[in-house]
A and B are shown apart, each in its own frame.
Chain A
Amino acid sequence: SQQGEEDPQALSIQEGENATMNCSYKTSINNLQWYRQNSGRGLVHLILIRSNEREKHSGRLRVTLDTSKKSSSLLITASRAADTASYFCATEGPTDSWGKLQFGAGTQVVVTP
């Protein structure tokens, strides 16, 4: 079953602009993770935020988590053409065993030079 839902489904921006995408989920979580997938390739882990954290930064990435609203956002600042990819949120719940993750359908981001 799909736990996370990303919004928007697609996003088109110009280089230098910021890109924001959101993820909503349905049940309680231990942590939420964001992954990037370049066209036709495997996923690459970007950042993990635990349920007791509200904000986390990694380079040009900023992730927020609001457990009361069951939502998270990923902000990419000063975007580059190389940021063109699909972005997925994934959640690990307290009852999920063995590190299982539930992935959303993804947000497709296109950054034009």
Chain B
Amino acid sequence: DVKVTQSSRYLVKRTGEKVFLECVQDMDHENMFWYRQDPGLGLRLIYFSYDVKMKEKGDIPEGYSVSREKKERFSLILESASTNQTSMYLCASSLWAGRPNEQFFGPGTRLTVL
């Protein structure tokens, strides 16, 4: 079974702090994704990556950056956390883009910015 793990289940940070959210998948998937989930808004794509060192902006990239130095790891960085970034953050991976395939999700990180 594919396993996607996220570094923290709960995180509390202060406004202005730099925040790192880590995601690791163990099934050699090409694609990795970062979403944020807010009530009533569903999942919104922040960034995704289709290969090591490759990244593409999603629908809401402002205030975020990402890093993918190794295939199994995809990091989301909040350069200067703000209260409107309080949210549930979900990481996902999928095998590759050449055919329809499902995304596998981590358990999520609930981030609170005070």
Chain A contacts to B: CB under 8 angstroms: 1-2, 4, 30-31, 33, 35, 40-45, 48, 50, 88, 90, 92, 97-101, 103-106
Contacts and interface: CB of A to CB of B under 8 A. Distances in A.
User: Per DSSP, are chain B's interface residues mostly helix, strand or loop, or mixed?
Assistant: strand
Interface of B: 4, 31, 33, 35, 40-45, 48, 50, 56, 58-59, 88, 90, 92, 94, 96-97, 100-108, 110
Sorted nearest first, the 8 A-B pairs with minimum C-beta distance are A42-B105, A45-B102, A105-B42, A103-B43, A98-B50, A31-B100, A98-B97, A43-B105
Which residue, of A43, A105, A106, has the highest number of chain B Cβ atoms within 10 A? A43
A45 B105 CA distance: 9
Contact of B97 (A31, A42, A97): A97
User: Per DSSP, are chain A's interface residues mostly helix, strand or loop, or mixed?
Assistant: loop
Given A88-B42, A88-B43, A105-B41, 15 more contacts: A2-B41, A2-B44, A4-B42, A30-B100, A31-B100, A41-B107, A42-B106, A45-B102, A48-B100, A97-B50, A99-B31, A99-B103, A100-B45, A101-B45, A101-B103
Contacts of B50: 97-99
Contacts of B106: 42
Nearest to B90: A42
Contacts of A104: 42
